[in-house]
Amino acid sequence: MTSQHACSIPQRLVDRFAITTASLVFRSNAARVWRVRLASGECAALKLYADPRMGNEAAGWQYIARAGALTVDIMDQTGGAILMGWLDGPSLGDLAREGAPEQADRVLADMAQQLTAAAISPADLLPLSQLLAPLERMQTKERALAEALTIYRYMQSHMQNSAGSYAGLNTALHGDLHHDNIRSHAGRWRAFDAKGLQGPAAYELANAFRHPRGMTTYASQPATIMRRLDLWSAALDVSRTDLAQWGAVKIALSCAWRGKSDPFDLRVLDQLLGHA
């Protein structure tokens, strides 16, 4: 195999997947992703997790396998390594950054609606309450974050005590559905990098309020947030209030993961709280 990054791929994976060339395209503390070419001549993406248990994305691969043509193809997997189809088109984030953010928001709404309508089984997916567990330990002096934590405690109590009465409580969720986790391939949009959650449908686009990447001015405008609340709540068949509340909770979770708040997140959070 030839590539300046080839030595980073364990030989066992080179042999297992018949990789001939590789180029590193993404790296974080949690995982690395390469664009690889296989002995068959086909291009693919190889994602290798630092932890073979794959962190909070472990159930995401079950979700993707069940979602079929709406998501990336899984070609093979072993341990903490996933070989998947290469999505060669632009992302919805790219579409937005190239000047069509409202169109990207509409396509995202359509994708969320299609995934919800697919009636994907939530069995063995990660309960949303487990993903949100870091909020139990979060402390803050920020007014907006404190309000988001109050909403979280209400939501958590409701999910624990109502035993399924909350609309969409047991919905199978991508769990991180936003503009930069959807790419075009062969003329259709396909999602990837799922968390694989079971929870209320209104959480599905909670993180999308913080996206697309690099478009903080657009995403934090009051008109954008109001338009998104209308569009996305209709797509998910949930109330604007529920959507705003889960969006606020997700921002708090992001701050908990980072260990600090972010000015952009707080601007979006303030707007969402006004609708919660």
Report the alpha-carbon distance of residue 156 to residue 149 in Å, rounded.
10
Residue 222 lies inside a defined structural domain of this protein: yes
Q: Are residues 169 and 229 in the same domain?
A: yes
pLDDT score recorded for residue 163: 43
User: Do 71 and 158 have their domain in common?
Assistant: no
Q: What's the pLDDT at 164?
A: 41
- Is 134 inside a domain boundary? yes
Predicted confidence at residue 12, as pLDDT, reads 95
Q: CB–CB of 236/243 below 8 Å?
A: yes
The C-alpha atoms of residue 21 and residue 258 are separated, in whole angstroms, by 35
Please give, one letter per residue, the 3-state secondary structure of the chain: CECCCHHHCCHHHHHHHCEEEEEEEEECCCEEEEEEEECCCCEEEEEEECCCCCHHHHHHHHHHHHHHHHECCEEEEECCEEEEECCCCCEHHHHHHCCCHHHHHHHHHHHHHHHHHCCCCCCCCEEHHHHCHHHHCCCCCCHHHHHHHHHHHHHHHHHHHCCCCCCCCCEEECCCCCHHHEEEECCEEEECCCCCEEECHHHCCHHHHHCCCCCHHHHCCHHHHHHHHHHHHHHHCCCHHHHHHHHHHHHHHHHHHHCCCCHHHHHHHHHHHCCC
Listed residues 61, 85, 109: the one ending a domain: 85
- What's residue 119's pLDDT? 86
Q: Contact at 8 Å (CB) between 144 and 266?
A: yes
The pLDDT value recorded for residue 4 is 47
Quick check: is 31 in a domain? yes
Instruction: Return the SS3 of 275.
Output: coil
Domain that holds residue 63: 6-85
59 and 110 together in one domain: no
What confidence tens digit (pLDDT) does each residue in 12-46 have?
A: 999 999 999 999 999 999 999 999 999 999 999 99
CATH code, domain with 168: 3.90.1200.10
**Secondary element (H or E) of residue 22:** strand 19-27
Phi and psi, residue 150, nearest 5° = -65, -40
Confidence of residue 8 (pLDDT cuts 50, 70, 90): confident
Domain assignment present for residue 256? The answer is: yes
| Residues 136, 38 within the same domain | no
Clarify whether residues 106 and 210 are in a common domain: yes
187-213 mean pLDDT: 96
Residues 11 and 134 in one domain: no
134-154 mean pLDDT: 94
pLDDT category of residue 166 using cuts at 50, 70 and 90: very low
In a domain, 181, yes or no: yes
Does residue 78 surpass a pLDDT of 60? yes
So what's the pLDDT on residue 1? 53
* pLDDT higher than 60, residue 162: no
Residues 226 and 254 in one domain: yes
Does residue 105 carry a pLDDT above 80?
A: yes
Do both 150 and 204 map to the same domain?
yes
pLDDT of residue 170: 84
Give 14 or 3, the one with higher predicted confidence.
14
Q: Which residue, of 85, 101, 120, is where some domain finishes?
A: 85
Say which amino acid occupies 14.
Answer: V
Q: Would 158 be classed as within a structural domain?
A: yes
Mean pLDDT of the chain: 92
Q: Are residues 74 and 108 in the same domain?
A: no
CATH of the domain at 10: 3.30.200.20
pLDDT of residue 165: 37
As to burial, measured by CB atoms within 10 angstroms (0-12 exposed, 13-18 middle, 19+ buried), residue 18 is middle
pLDDT of 56 > 90? The answer is no
Q: Could you read off the pLDDT of 218-274 as tens digits, one per residue?
A: 999 999 999 999 999 999 999 999 999 999 999 999 999 999 999 999 999 999 999
Give pLDDT, residue 160: 59
Same domain, 129 and 80: no
Domain count, the chain: 2
Indicate if 130 and 42 belong to the same structural domain. Answer: no
Is the domain of 137 the same as that of 226?
A: yes
Is 1 within a domain? no
Domain boundary among 85, 117, 149: 85
| Within a domain: 97 | yes
